[in-house]
Structure 1
Amino acid sequence: MQNRVIRSSNGREPGGTGNSRFALFIFLGSYALVFVTLAIVVINLRRVSFDWPPAGVPPLALWKGALVTLILLVSSLTLHVTLHAARQGNQPRAQRLLLVTVLLGLLFLVGQIYQFATAGMTIQSGAYGAVFFTMAGFHAVHIIIGLALLVRLLNDLRRAPASAATLSATPAAATVWHFLDLMWLPFFIVLYLL
């Protein structure tokens, strides 16, 4: 089966329209507001609390947070190199790197589950526990959505040579993934460093 690139009347490939990019950024902007609001809640709770974490609740282990953060940042790097390989037409390399990105995302989720299980608190452990489980859980749900987008893209790349439609969908999936990685950083700062 032959891959055809359908061009619009202005000679550009479909899929990267201004409206779809605008909608993506509006969508991500609304999520950014939720992420920022959660971070502000933590900062305000810390400001009004006498002791943070509360007595009897162990503080989060910095090394666990740093490790999952490093995994997430490396996944962004591998995705960036994936895009470069795809643009250069090196589909086997792009597939391998995208698979590594997906595996790193899964490893991040495993790390989050491990943190949930070993945090020494529950969501009922006052504001500290509620904040941790809400923020980390909210982010984990969105990582699952990002992984679904990357797995779909990986399947598209495996089925056929990279087409204009596949490559035009790649930046959108990458933008979502990089956004999720970026949104983890304020969570890491307010949960582990402040």
Structure 2
Amino acid sequence: MRAIRVAPVALLGAALCAVAAPAASATVLTGGPSTSFTPTITPSAVAPGGQVTLGAVGCASDATAFSGVFDTITIPQGRSATVSVDKQARRGASYPVTFRCGTATKTANLSITGAATSTPTTAPTTSSTVAPQGVQGGLGGSAEAMDPTEIAAGSALVTVAAAGAFYALRKRRAERRH
């Protein structure tokens, strides 16, 4: 008997999911930023304390880059950004540099040479005070531009769930009175 009372709410929720899912995925498939980009690191080998120039050729929006040897840096669309490598970077090691353009992620390697460099004469775009050990925490890709379609779909699902819970509780309360 209980399954019959819950069935309309479940069907309404399933119907809303079926209607909202294609709209949300269509935005991701057609309206999202370009995923065909090429990360660049110049030079690809640098001494500890040296500077590298990072780029995301073909990215249709601002890109970000992060590694264990420098802080996360934003690369403006169509331009490049310069960053200083930590002086504590291990000589002879190769560090992965992760580039993120929209929802696409690509990795390139940065080699650390054996010779140390002097302090750069120009001010770096960013510098790091974190040792190159452990995992760099952060938002983990969860912070992007807010998509109105996804917000509307999520709000609709929350509303349907709340309405279904309200309906079930009211129905249950009404049955106990009789």
Q: TM-score, normalised by structure 1?
A: 0.27
Higher RCO (C-alpha under 8 Å, 6+ residues apart) = 1
Higher strand share: 2
Bigger Rg, structure 1 or 2: 2
